[in-house]
Structure 1
């Protein structure tokens, strides 16, 4: 069985081209989505985006965050938000600190985007630490 696109690209959040992220491969074989040199760099980019959502756009609930992450034009955003909120054991409209819940958000988004969680916790923790540390 083929691995999901996000896993193949080391981009488990399925981030589209646009930003010049640290850790992008020199050649970008996927015309729509970024390809990173390792999953940690893909997770780092996810974390940076999620932190920006809260700090720059004041998105402070799972529902608001996922509505921007996965717009209704392309996704069943309400079901996505419910899934992420369930993983975090909270209501989709409950206020959340992205900084305090970044690892949980990343894990839930990876699962939802790819239908699986292929990474060990150390890999996820490294990517989250990179996002939080400014690397």
Structure 2
């Protein structure tokens, strides 16, 4: 896939399809932004870092610790087939929908991120080291 043939989230280095709002680390300069709806990051590591921060905030601020809770907030029913999204993440991760996930544990977090990316974009093109870099960028945030 080249150029505009790539899914929007991959083109934007925003594989979670995060909408504009917060001023995230690693956003492209304002003068280079071409997507009016979704964030554009300088590299996929920063887009995945933002995903990690959002998911961890779901846990710390809203008490959402399960796939069901997190995906219902990530992909609300007014915009998505949320149950199909939950089902695809459950199948991809092997984690039950209502089982708590420790997002500080990369062995649990990486499969969740990969499942979200695959659902959002139709594919998950990133190597393991991209997730490691994003995890390091997120730190203990």
- Quick check: 1:121 aligned with 2:128? yes
C-alpha deviations, 1:7-59, integer Å up to 9, x for none? 00000000000000000000321000000000000000000000000011000
Tell me the SS of whatever aligns to 1:98. Answer: coil
> How high is the TM-score relative to the length of structure 1?
0.94
Paired residue for 1:41, among 46, 71, 84? 46
2:104–2:140 contact (8 Å) kept in structure 1: no
2:13–2:43 contact (8 Å) kept in structure 1: yes
Query: In the alignment, which residue of structure 2 is the partner of 1:83?
Result: 88
Root-mean-square deviation (CA), in Å?
A: 1.2
- Quick check: 1:50 aligned with 2:55? yes
Q: Which runs of 5+ in 2 are unaligned?
A: none
d(CA) in 2 for partners of 1:129, 1:106: 14
Q: Which runs of 5+ in 1 are unaligned?
A: none
- Quick check: 1:97 aligned with 2:121? no
Aligned residues: 134
d(CA) in 2 for partners of 1:48, 1:91: 22
Query: In the alignment, which residue of structure 2 is the partner of 1:66?
Result: 71
